[in-house]
């Protein structure tokens, strides 16, 4: 998983925000996505995954997550979605 001091967090954050905006769903984002950080990037990846913008493989590349980390992360997203319903991003 990305280190909080990774130099590309801001660039990846802005790139992902642009991809989300290109799909016309940027208005659905919460204020969690306003400032670049690892947590914000994870939030944007979750949002992009559930809106069909990113695949798991792409998320793994953005977050530099190994296979086990990615599997655990996506499982937690599905668990959260099942428990709270749509709109948990």
Helix axes 56-63 and 67-84, enclosed angle (nearest 10): 120
Per-residue pLDDT of the chain (89 residues; tens, 9 = 90+): 999 999 999 999 999 999 999 999 998 898 989 999 999 999 999 999 999 999 999 999 999 999 999 999 999 999 988 888 776 55
Instruction: Return the CA Rg of the chain.
Output: 12
Helix axes 67-84 and 38-50, enclosed angle (nearest 10): 70
Task: Give alpha helix (H) positions in the chain.
Answer: 9-22, 38-50, 56-63, 67-84
- Count the neighbouring beta carbons within 10 Å of the beta carbon of residue 11: 11
């Amino acid at each position: 998983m990305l280190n909080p001091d990774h130099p590309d967090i801001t660039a990846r954050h802005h790139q992902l925000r642009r991809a989300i905006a290109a799909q016309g769903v940027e208005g659905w984002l919460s204020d969690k996505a306003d400032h670049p950080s690892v947590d914000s990037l994870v939030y944007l990846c979750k949002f992009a995954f559930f809106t069909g913008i990113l695949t798991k493989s792409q998320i793994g590349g953005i977050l530099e997550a190994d296979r086990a980390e990615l599997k655990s992360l996506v499982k937690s997203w599905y668990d959260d979605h099942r428990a709270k319903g749509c709109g948990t991003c």
